[in-house]
Structure 1
């Protein structure tokens, strides 16, 4: 016959092992805090915003203007490939970083640190850079934007102008790790581990817990049971104590009376 467990039994089980669950939660929180504040290296991000202007169509019709806008949006994918995939741009960024900021990064590392994001339905896009130093992230993003501005006309003949709308600035707030998220994850994982340990301890506990276990699991007939008594129940009340004292006095007086006789 399958055994079922009710919600009340689950709550009773969790209440019984509440200390284990709390210890596990605080342990998970402590591990997450140590990893977040002392082990994981903070990462900083900076971005420069640009816009590329293409030659306008000679036609003044509205459909021609719409086609120009759609064409500009499609060209953003080409700009992304030039920045992320092109070796010429990353090599020039490497040379300028080393010459101007004494920052020696390989072309492959520069590609990995750069990210191109496009504003929705806009011709403006951003070049973002990440680094474990906020100043390096700013210098990488600005240098990549400047190299893109200087070299795009050599790559594409149909470009009219490349404008840097805003340069990257130094941000003192790291984008990674997310302190609050990591602490919350550590707390939740600690809670899950604690609940799991509670069920494991309960399964490994083979002691007799109630009368039902004796009759159902062991198949024995229950002849009697001693009720659970609290410390207060074990203490005799005043009437019982008085009767015990009187009884002790009678027992102590009995030998005296016999000796007098």
Structure 2
């Protein structure tokens, strides 16, 4: 992914990042306010050897002390050191309870032991650090004494007694909040990237480019009132959604320019992706320019064109295929426009067979020669084979995909279904594009222009 892809992901998931960061900062703040304070006190013990008579003895004794000093540091957590300290301070603790609060380190190449005690009371922390240091010196002296007359050759001296800390070592409010902020941001960005990785839905042109080379013809912006006013070209001709269809109209005119017949199947991968509303509005947009347009409802399973256009659908395509009526008798004109409609007719038990018949092939050629543009509204590609069969006969196919809904695997399988039967893949239309945000659609976003409603009409073949 490129930089702008990451920016788009962060833009899309900004709310998650903000919420995660706020929660992390709130948790860190709550911890800082509610956690009991802990104080840290430090004491230092110097380790030396006695009976040094020469420079050689001095070097030998220093080497011996450095070797043993780490052993002495380990003795700090033993009961021999801790229990007498507890008894002296009269603390209500056991050795097991005190042991985690005490630690000792011996810096490299030194003979000094640093003793650290963390405790909930500053005074007790100070007394414990000093007491442990004093008791360690006593214990080591006893352990190293092998001759009662000469005494111990090793001496431990407390060179720095612990001082009462002026502020708790934990919690540190500023540091905790800063860490919460960084962790929250990191978690939010991580969640955003994970969501993007797991999201296989198609959102924009970039997503299409990753799965296919089929050109994008245009994008149709989302309209929450699409179900109540599907004919947006007719209901609100100056809305952004209406202009989206005019952009699609312009781009369709340059599609498959080498093919004399301007006939296209409009389908989708799955149901409810907006194919029927797209084909109806596209047909109206084409008719606006004076082009003679025939809209054929070839969805013989769930026809929608008659419902959207408000025409009678009792007689239609199925009647023409079986020879019950002629195409001229079944085709209806929509109002006073140059848009003509061939309804689906009665729903047959064998839609695939009818659409793939030789009669249908002959009918397609006849209609394509009589009208400037013929659009077929076909069922989705994945549930049934009707659209793939019809596209092979028509010679042009436009696949509709819904932004934020259609998955890349579904669109890929739909395009493969066309390839399997030898049907063309003319182009793709993205529907339900948001009007704001990183995936929003704007005129020219994909490099396409759009024609005005008053564009020069195309005068063509016979009008009915």
The TM-score with structure 1 as length reference comes to 0.68
In structure 1, the partner of 2:293 is none
Secondary structure (helix, strand or coil) at the match of 1:64 reads helix
Structure 2 unmatched ranges of 5 or more: 146-151, 206-215, 220-399, 402-407, 416-424, 434-440, 444-464
Mapped to 2, the partners of 1:228 and 1:104 lie a distance apart of 73
User: How far does residue 63 in structure 1 lie from its aligned partner after superposition?
Assistant: 3.0
1:47 aligns to what SS in structure 2? strand
Partner SS, residue 42 of structure 2:
strand
Alignment of 1:191 with 2:166, yes or no, is: no
Residue aligning to 2:176 = 182
Q: Relative to structure 1, is the Cα distance of residues 139 and 132 closer, same or farther in structure 2, using a 3 angstrom cutoff? A: same
Counterparts in 2 of 1:11-50, with a 5 A limit?
Answer: 11-38=7-34, 40-50=35-45
Q: Which one scores higher on RCO, CA 8 angstroms, separation ≥ 6?
A: 1
| Residues 21/151 of structure 1: CA separation in 2 closer, same or farther (3 Å cut) | closer
1:159 Cα deviation after fit = 3.5
Per the alignment, residue 97 of structure 1 pairs with: 89
Matching residue within 100, 107, 128 for 2:116: 128
CA RMSD for the aligned pairs? 3.4
Among 48, 55, 59, the alignment partner of 1:53 is 48
Secondary structure class of the residue paired with 2:157: strand
Q: 1:167 to 1:27 in 2, by over 3 A?
A: same
Q: Give how far 1:202 is off.
A: 9.1
Relative distance call for 1:228 and 1:96 in structure 2 (3 A) is same
> Which structure features the higher share of helix residues?
1
Q: Which has the higher strand share?
A: 2
Query: Counterpart of 2:99?
Result: 111
Structure 1 unmatched runs, 5+: 230-261
The one-character-per-residue Cα deviations of 1:17-48 (angstroms, maximum 9, x if unpaired) are 3343223322222222212332x333211111
The Cα of 1:141 is off from its aligned counterpart by 0.9
SS of residue in 1 equivalent to 2:45: strand
Distance 1:206 1:107, change over 3 A: closer
Higher-Rg member (1/2): 2
Q: 1:109 to 1:209 in 2, by over 3 A?
A: same
Q: Calculate the TM-score normalised by the size of structure 2.
A: 0.41
Q: Within 5 Å, which residues of 2 pair with 1:152-163? A: 152-157=140-145, 158-159=152-153, 161-163=155-157
Deviations 1:165-206 (A, max 9, x none): 121011133333444443333223322333345453796695
**2:132 is aligned with 1:144:** yes
Partner of 1:166: 160
Q: Which residue of 2 aligns with 1:84?
A: 77
Aligned with 1:65 (options 58, 61, 67): 58
For the residues of structure 1 that align with 2:180 and 2:88, how far apart are their CA atoms? 42
User: What number of residue pairs does the alignment pair up?
Assistant: 217
What per-residue deviation string (whole Å, max 9, x for no partner) do you get for residues 113-146 of structure 1?
Answer: 2211223322222222111221121111111122
Contact 1:97/1:104, CA 8 A, preserved across alignment: no
Counting only pairs closer than 5 Å after superposition, residues 211-230 of structure 1 correspond to structure 2 as 211=216, 214=400, 217=411, 221=427, 228=442
Choose 213-222 or 134-143, whichever is displaced more. 213-222
